[in-house]
């Protein structure tokens, strides 16, 4: 298995292209780079095996989830690092999301709570807002980290619906226990 720093080496913009890569973390281990400072990266996220066999049949039953690969783990590490920036004053439940645009750009999001609960926003929608604000509306994967003890933090129903506005049913949703398809998480999305 590749080392996390080896997998994401070069994602973050540095002042120089030195061989010694240092992940930009503060004293407590939190990611300190602001949104928009991550570089486009090559990726091959998928929700099923298209290399041949039964899975290449469009009518084949897809697995509920695929195991994590090195790329997925690296994206989860980024989501976990940004999670420390969440504003979860009321629930204490911090969530981080790392959304990969079709361009390869990575957009970060955290949950932001408010005393008026409906005014809050989830990490997934926060990442989508960052991406759309930057002009990107096509995406290839999202990683979500929240909660305790490494348990998967599934996106809420609103986030699933918002993801379906921009992403197809085969869109990879990367959680700590595997890679799910958006269509599997939201089989009957609303559309106009």
181, 169 contact by CB (below 8 A) = yes
Residues serving a catalytic function are 124
- Cα distance between residue 4 and residue 74, in whole Å: 6
For residue 104, what are the β-bridge partners? none
7, 73 contact by CB (below 8 A) = yes
H or E element at residue 184: helix 182-185
- Cα distance between residue 56 and residue 90, in whole Å: 46
């Amino acid at each position: 298995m590749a080392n996390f720093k080896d997998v994401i080496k070069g994602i973050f913009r540095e002042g120089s292209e030195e061989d010694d890569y240092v992940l930009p973390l503060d004293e407590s281990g939190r990611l300190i780079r602001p949104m928009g400072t991550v570089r486009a990266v090559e990726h091959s996220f998928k929700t099923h095996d298209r290399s041949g066999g039964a899975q290449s049949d469009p009518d084949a039953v897809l697995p509920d989830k695929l195991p994590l690969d090195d790329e997925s783990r690296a994206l989860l590490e980024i989501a976990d690092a940004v999670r420390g920036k969440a504003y979860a004053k009321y629930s204490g439940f911090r969530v981080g999301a790392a959304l990969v645009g079709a361009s390869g750009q990575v957009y970060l999001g955290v949950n932001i709570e408010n005393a008026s609960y409906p005014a809050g926003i989830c990490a997934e929608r926060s990442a989508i807002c960052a991406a759309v604000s930057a002009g990107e509306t096509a995406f290839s994967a999202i990683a979500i980290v929240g909660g305790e003890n490494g348990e998967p933090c599934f996106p809420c129903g609103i986030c699933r619906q918002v993801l379906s506005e921009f992403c197809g049913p085969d869109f990879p949703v990367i959680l700590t226990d595997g890679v799910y398809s958006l269509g599997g998480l939201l089989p009957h999305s609303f559309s106009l």
